[in-house]
Structure 1
Amino acid sequence: MKKGVALLILATILWGGNYICGRFLAPALPATLLNTIRWGISTILLWGILAFNKMDFPILKKWKEFLILGFFGVFAFSTLNYLGLRSLSASHAGMISAGIPIAILLFTPFVLKDKIHAKSWIGAIISVIGVMILIQGKQGGASQSSLIGEIEILLSCLAWGMYTVLGKKYGKSIDPLTMTAGASFYGTLLSALSCIGTVDTGMIHMTGSAWLAVIYVSTLASVVAFFSWSAGVEMVGPALAAPFINLLPVWTVVFGVLLLHEKISFITLLGGIITIAGAVFTSYQTSSNKNKKGLIQTA
């Protein structure tokens, strides 16, 4: 259990860095092009891992499943995140991501017909309350936001929730690594197609630091975070793991203070503590949930 929780926390730290990089790259690359480059690199890495382990990649045989997963988990989720980060601070966008576990728990009974443990709902609600306090704390800061940006991040939460539950459904016949590689491949294609007619060279302003950020989101925030999260979910179960996504706001605030020099108030700190408490509370579910198969996650 402790190892699984540690892996979940590591994944959220790496994804928290993705929000910082996404905000940093907003003026350097259009969201659709950034997503294409990010997942194009990730696809090559994942494909290489499959080949190294001599695993089949049914890219055509399972195209429907991969296409659906690629649309929700790679194209819609990531692109909407990067679009939202054009007008929202990294901290603000990360805090809105608290809607992800609610989306997962909402879709699970309808798609998977699974019963959700009451403690999962309670833990998620506690975490959301913490994030609401975090948002109140950030209102007094210097960060700017927009309604459109907030809607884009909220829609990304719904996309991730659907991807997660569909990942478990399709996971009955496809292993997590193959599923992620397939979703990454088709999601990259969709992202590339979305660039046609919407991206020109005048919108690209890359620097050395920007390329480092691209490398980070393509490797640590994608491949490494995926393995960390999927392994953690496999150990503790999907319902238990879902509220740990609410640690994202904590890391984005911490990174915002350290890297973007944002101010942090007492209310912000209090919200972070409550957010963590919600995730920890959920980790004390009954051991019967440990045998549930994990859900696929990406960010």
Structure 2
Amino acid sequence: MNQRLTPATALMLVVPPLLWAGNAVVGRMVNAMVPPITLNFLRWAIALLILLPLAGQVYRPGSGLGAHWRRFAILGLLGVGMYNALQYLALQSSTPINVTLVAASMPVWMLLIGWLFFRASVSRTQVAGAALSVAGVLVVLSRGQWQQLLVLRLVPGDLFMVLATIAWSVYSWLLLGRKEPESIRADWAAFLLAQVSFGVLWSGAFAAAEWVWTDARIDWSWGLGAALLYVAVGPAIIAFRCWGAGVQRVGPNIAAFFNNLTPLFAAMMSSAFLGETPHAYHAVAFALIVGGIVLSSRTR
């Protein structure tokens, strides 16, 4: 694993937060059309159908999928079945600003989990980078007015987002395990399909429980269909591909800082699609977040 952050790797790691910001915007748009956990199941079911022609060989005998099913089941649970389902659940009782604020703690969780369970060393520059990057996110969330952070109140949705962030941090560290056959590891589509295959089972079980225990319903429309196609191709397949490759190149600790670009991209998309005018604090936040990424990527 190369710990140097090259321009190509940086560009690769910028793609996921950009697409995930779009996922948040689209998720809010269809919130009244489809239940949150069902939305997560549908997006990954579509992603599985798209991946099948690209990597269907993983289902052949001897591919290694069966021999390493436990690893892929865990990756599928954490990255596919849990993270977005918990995020969508969080938005049912928490505000977007609270959810984004909790998600901004990912670099801290990534450093902590790596140090506790994966024997990863944590440098002072990484800690400083984490603080600088989180400060940039806080600038966006507070709209440049720090007193706005003092009126935040925690609700059950915030706990869901904490669990989601921890799940994603563990998932990212497990990507470095390299315990699967090289035939699967070397083919990004096969590696993703192996995870999604189990993730769809997990998310399907969660969605079934949602329909049993709630008054879930779906209001089908062409708009919902387009939204499902986007969240399946962009935030799911493309973002996971770029994130996995980036993590393998520079490690979870450095990659985690790029996740903090998501609130900034979300603010930019709000300006483009909702007519909100950009402010000076967006530039300040961008400088702080990028500064945290650069600082954290320095070798000791």
Q: TM-score, normalised by structure 2?
A: 0.82
2:235 to 221, 224, 245: 221
Instruction: Kindly state the Cα deviation for residue 221 of structure 1 after the two structures are TM-superposed.
Output: 1.0
Please list every run of 5 or more consecutive structure 1 residues that lacks an aligned counterpart in the other structure.
Answer: 287-299
The corresponding residue for 1:61 is 67
Q: Which residue of 1 aligns with 2:165?
A: 157
1:100-119 per-residue CA deviation (whole Å, 9 max, x = no partner) reads 22222111123221223332
- How far 1:246 moved relative to its partner? 0.9
Match of 1:295 in 2: none
Q: State the Cα deviation string for residues 121-171 of structure 1 (Å, max 9, x = none).
A: 22112111222222222886xxx99723332222211110111112222x2
1:39 maps to amino acid: W
Equivalent residues of 2:90, 2:157 under 8 A apart = yes
Q: Which moves more between the two structures, 49-58 or 253-262?
A: 49-58
Q: Secondary structure at the match of 1:168?
A: coil
Aligned position for 1:25: 30
Deviates more, 1:49-58 or 1:263-272: 49-58
The answer as to whether partners of 1:107 and 1:161 remain within 8 angstroms in 2 is yes
Which one of the candidate residues 194, 216, 229 is aligned to 1:182? 194
Structure 1 window deviating more from structure 2 (83-92 vs 38-47): it is: 83-92
Matched position secondary structure for 1:17: helix
- In structure 2, list runs of 5 or more residues that go unmatched: 1-5
**What pairs with 1:164-243 in structure 2 (closer than 5 Å)?**
164-169=172-177, 171-174=178-181, 175=185, 177=188, 178-199=190-211, 203-243=217-257
The Cα shift of 1:257 comes to 2.3
Q: After superposition, where does 1:278-297 map in structure 2 within 5 Å?
A: 278-285=292-299
1:97 Cα offset (Å):
2.0
- Give the Cα separation in 2 of the matches to 1:230 and 1:52: 20
TM, length-normalised to structure 1: 0.82
Amino acid at match of 1:196: A
Specify the code of the residue in structure 2 equivalent to 1:149.
G
1:10 equivalenced with 2:15 (yes/no): yes
Report deviation, 1:280: 2.7
Using the aligned pairs only, state the percent identity.
25
Choose the corresponding residue for 1:118, options 124, 134, 138.
124
User: 1:284 is matched by which residue type in structure 2?
Assistant: R
Aligned to 2:92: 86
CA contact 2:35–2:216 (8 Å) conserved in 1: no
- The aligned length equals 283
Instruction: Give the Cα separation in 1 of the matches to 2:73 and 2:58.
Output: 23
